[in-house]
Each structure stands twice: as structure tokens, then as C-alpha cells.
Amino acid sequence: MKTAEDRLAAAGCASPRLDVRLLAEEALGWSRTALLLDGDRPVPAEAQAALAALVDRRAAREPVSRILGRREFWSLEFRLAPDTLDPRPDTETLVEAALRHLPDGQRPRRLLDLGTGSGCILLALLSELPGAWGLGVDIAPGAAQTAAANAKALGFASRSAFLVGSWTDALGAGGRFDAMVSNPPYIPAADIAGLEPEVRTFDPMRALDGGADGLDPYRHLATVARGLLLPGGLLAVEHGAGQGADVAALFAAAGLEVLERVDDLAGHDRVVAARRRS
């Protein structure tokens, strides 16, 4: 195990010990407790080879969640696919913000998630809002299929639907919604080459590239929000660090009432919540 940790540390992985433990649990089928208490337990050659192959992938900077094919988010397990972003803890800030402005979870509501990816935002909201129904839209067929599979696995299939299409073009006459959420692409195009390999190599490029300044998706959201939201409806979005003021200004210029800007756990501005005035 120590050799594997050293190898991942030399490759630039941020948490080599944790990574090796997670990969060992996967390859060896041992629980965390067994790994901690029985570290000298004999390892069959086949399992050693399986672990070595997983360590090879991580040393190439493939994220552990991609290797395992799953990620925990909002205490729920989500399957991942090449077409989906790898959900980050920062995105839970968006879920928390949306829930603050959606009181009375039993109330019937229609939710819209644009760029749904794995469905993690929408399905996390449905887990807290038992009266709600949600629609997720993604341009990537693999993402929409993965989100639908996650909804089924988590027991939300009857309260959700997923469409393939480019943003609002997929909706047609889909009606209006009580809330719209999104974690759109927000990385300025010129900055993508400087991202960590885990992101620039393994996350889908169209889920990263937000145009020259990273704000193109927010301009679109500001334009379409009034037509998609019911009076008083909520628009809550994640954005990149340092973009909060610009996103809020775009929403205000479109006639939306900005409710709050929210920092993530690291203290970076991360979410803007706004409302369609009546």
C-alpha cells in the first residue's frame, strides 16, 4: 500500500492515502474496517493485479470517482458516465440555496434542471421536496440516460423526466416552472488548458467551456428565465469563483430580483439565487 501511495504522491495526486484506500476497497472487496485492522492480510495475486491496474489509472490522474464509476453527492450515490460532470461538494451549495427559497417541501412544484449531467442537483432537490416533480435537460444523450438511470436507482423515476437537447430548445411547449436550477459551463475558454488533469482530461469539454469570459450560459439563462418561470419562480445557478457579481448583474438587467449570493465552504462566491417578479 505504501508503494502505491508514494507513486500517487509522485504523480501529483492530492490525497494519495485516501485514493489508495478507496481503490483497495474496490479491488480487494475489503471493507474500510478490514483494511485498517488487518493491513497485513494476504492479498491474492489476482486482486493485487486488479489493484495495480486501478493505481495505474489514478497515477494517470483519472479521478477516483471516474475509476469507480460513482460519486456520493448529498448523501446519495450517483453513477457517472463520460458525458457527465463529476459532481463536486461545492455544488451542494446550490442545492442548499435552492432549498432555502423553496419552503414547504410537500407543496406541488415543477422543477427544471438545465445541463442536468448525472442528475445530482435535481435528484437531491427531489429527495428534500417530496411534493415536487422535476425535468432535467442535457445536450449529451449519455448524460440524460445516466440521469434517468440514477433517478430510477434512487426511487425518483415517477417524479422526474429527462430530455436530450440544447438548453431550452428541448422544451418546446413544456410550460412554466416553479424553479430552475443549473450548473452550466463557466470556465473561460482560455483557462481550460490550465485546469487540473482530473478536470480538463476527464470532464466533458462542453460542460466546462463557458465562452470567452465564462458567462455565455448566464446570458442565455437571463434571457429565457422570465419565459420559463412562473411569477415568483426561482432561478438558482452555480458559477465560477469571482463571477458572482457579473452573474447577479446579468439577472438584474433581465428584470429578475436577485435574492442572494452565496459562498461555498472554501469562501469562494459560488451561487446566485434570483426570482421572477410577479
- Which residues contribute to the annotated binding site for substrate? 183-186
Yes or no: say if 177 and 229 are a contact pair by the CB < 8 Å rule: yes
The annotated binding site for S-adenosyl-L-methionine is made up of 115-119, 138, 167, 183
Q: In sequence order, what E strands does 143-254 have?
A: 160-164, 177-182, 229-238
SS3 category, 152:
helix
Question: How far is CA 197 from each of CA 13, 62, 70, 171, rounded to the nearest angstrom?
Answer: 10, 8, 19, 34
Q: Which helix (H) or strand (E) holds 271?
A: strand 269-276
Annotated binding site: 115-119, 138, 167, 183-186
Q: In the β-sheet with 269-276, what is the strand arrangement from edge to edge?
A: 160-164, 132-138, 109-114, 177-182, 229-238, 269-276, 256-263
| Cell digits of residue 21 | 484506500
